[in-house]
Amino acid sequence: MPMIRKQLKPSDVYPDDIRYNPSGDKVEVLIDGVWTEAPESDPRQQTTLPPRLTADPACDGAQSIADALQNQIAGITTAIDNSLTLFQIAGLILGLFSFGVFAIFINIALAIADYMFGLGSAAIEAALPPSAYDTVACILYCHMDDNGRINKGDLQNIQQDMVDQLGATGGTIINQMLQLAGEGGLNNLAAAGTSTGSCGGCGCATTWCEIFDFAADSGGWQEKSLGSGFWGTLVPDQWDGTDAIDTVSSPDLAHRGVMLGRIFATRTVTHIAVNYDLTKGNIDQVSGSGFRLSSGDIFTGSVLRNIAFSVLVNGTDLTQDWTGSISAEEIQFWLFSSRDQSVPYAYGGVVTIKSILMEGEGENPFGPDNCP
């Protein structure tokens, strides 16, 4: 029987209107002849499968991911021993992801294949013995919610734990696979698996505590703006207040002060304390908000505390704190020393933010606890 051959085109493997652009690590789609960034089309960010319905979806999901990685890496070491090509090994790597257009990441898979081929099967097996996958499952479990989903924004923390607990080589191998999968791919692997885990001995942290001492650095906090200018400048030892205008409110409001925000992996937050110095200046409306703390956007998020200028007092080493329980992935706050809504605007007073303490439940989203 004669063999029929045809030339393969990219669209025979995945649609030709979507591609991976390594510049910026982004997925793009073709719209009216123009390649446009499309994070909503990135399979690494798409959780498409419903959670598993088991007695412990998080533990079973974590075990399913660990088993999938173990089986895939075992297949790769066999391929290396059989002298398969890098393209063939890359195909095995991408074969782990049967959902979404992961084929667009062929260059990433080739880089992983090249790294593992360079190590050799003996080094891979030494770095990742069977017991290592128990550690992988526990790390994943400790960063999952009750439905077996990776906590939003937690992939970086997971990868750090992998290196810390598996060592450089084992951690790098696992992390390359996790990076390729993304949070969406991992959630889908967890949902599609059939494994049953045993996570009673994982020893996940139940509470965390983090102090951001601005005498050291910003701690990842960033100054925020409400239209015209940013409030806050980081100087040695502290954040100092600056002058800016809130053009979101109506009428516009001119303030001197500090407004900061911090994004982190989704966590239950139970306590926030802001340490500061304050000298109030000119305030045209004392009932206005001098201090506001929110989970999420300062206006549209959940307001945790909102304190009028009339209640705020002058002093040094003062604290505004909140205690409760809220699922959060960003905290924002402002502290102002002055308020003026009449042009020409007048600014006055002094604001200094020295440190912030945060506490919550689960694993510390910022790294090892640093509270005394």
**Residue 11, pLDDT above cutoff 90:** no
Q: Is residue 232 part of a domain?
A: yes
Are 219 and 320 within one domain? Answer: yes
Burial class of residue 123 (count of CB atoms within 10 Å of its CB; 0-12, 13-18, 19+): middle
Distance CA 213, CA 236 (A): 11
**Furthest CA-CA distance within the chain:** 92
341 class by beta-carbon count within 10 Å (0-12 exposed, 13-18 middle, 19+ buried): middle
Residue 245's φ and ψ, nearest 5 degrees, are -120, 130
pLDDT of 14 reads 59
Compute the mean pLDDT over every residue in the chain, rounded to the nearest whole number.
94
CATH code of the domain containing 223: 2.60.120.260
Boundary-marking domain end, from 162, 192, 222: 192
Looking at the fold, whether 239 and 188 belong to one and the same domain comes out as: no
Range of the domain at 111: 43-192
Report the C-alpha gap between 322 and 316 in whole angstroms.
19
Burial 325-337 (b: 16+ CB within 10 A, else e): ebebbebbbbbbb
Q: How far apart are CA 290 and CA 256, in angstroms?
A: 10
Task: Return d(Cα 68, Cα 309) in angstroms, integer.
Answer: 57
C-alpha of 27 from chain center: 18
- pLDDT, one tens digit per residue, over 96-136 is 888 788 999 999 999 999 999 999 999 999 999 999 999 99
Q: Could you tell me the pLDDT band of residue 54, with boundaries at 50, 70 and 90? A: very high
Banded pLDDT at 356 (limits 50, 70, 90): very high
Number of H helices, E strands in the chain: 7, 15
pLDDT tops 80 at residue 5: no
Assess if residue 81 is contained within a domain.
yes
Q: What angle do CA 302, 307, 309 make, to 5 degrees?
A: 145
Q: Is the pLDDT of residue 12 over 50?
A: no
Residue 186: closest CA among 294, 96, 287 = 96
Residue 35 lies in a domain: no
Q: Is residue 104 part of a domain?
A: yes
- Residue 181 and residue 51 share a domain: yes
**Listed residues 159, 192, 225: the one ending a domain:** 192
Q: How many CB atoms lie within 10 A of CB 250?
A: 8
Checking if the pLDDT of 149 tops 50, the result is yes
231 and 165 in a single domain? The answer is no
Report the pLDDT value the prediction gives residue 4, as an integer from 0 to 100.
41
- Among 141, 168, 192, the domain-final residue is 192
Predicted confidence (pLDDT) per residue in 69-84, tens digit: 999 999 999 999 999 9
Cα–Cα distance between 240 and 256 in angstroms, integer?
A: 10
Average pLDDT of the residues in 267-287: 97
Query: Using CA atoms, how far apart are residues 124 and 167, in angstroms rounded to an integer?
Result: 12
pLDDT at position 67: 98
Residues 51 and 172 in one domain: yes
Pair (213, 178) in one structural domain: no
Among 100-104, 192-196, 206-210, the minimum mean pLDDT is found in 100-104
Number of domains in the chain: 2
Q: Looking at the structure, do residues 173 and 313 belong to the same domain, yes or no?
A: no
Smallest CA-to-CA distance from 184 within 143, 160, 155 is with 155
Cα 91 to Cα 6, 85, 103, 308, 310: the distances in Å are 20, 10, 9, 61, 66
Residues 177 and 223 in one domain: no
Same domain, 181 and 229: no
Q: Specify if 335 maps to a domain.
A: yes
Q: Are residues 108 and 251 in the same domain?
A: no
DSSP assignment of 295-334: ESSTTTSEEEEEEETTT---EEEEEEEEEEEEEEEEEEEE
Asked if 344 and 246 sit in the same domain, the reply is: yes
**Of the candidates 136, 19, 168, which has an alpha carbon nearest to the alpha carbon of residue 66?**
136
> Is 25 part of a structural domain of the chain?
no
* Residue 348 to residue 84: CA distance in whole angstroms: 71
pLDDT at residue number 99: 79
Give pLDDT, residue 16.
Answer: 82
Confidence of residue 8 (pLDDT cuts 50, 70, 90): very low
**Average pLDDT in the 177-198 region?**
96
In a domain, 96, yes or no: yes
CB 59 within 8 A of CB 199: yes
Tell me the residue length of the chain. 372
> Residue 32: inside a domain, yes or no?
no
101 & 184 share domain:
yes
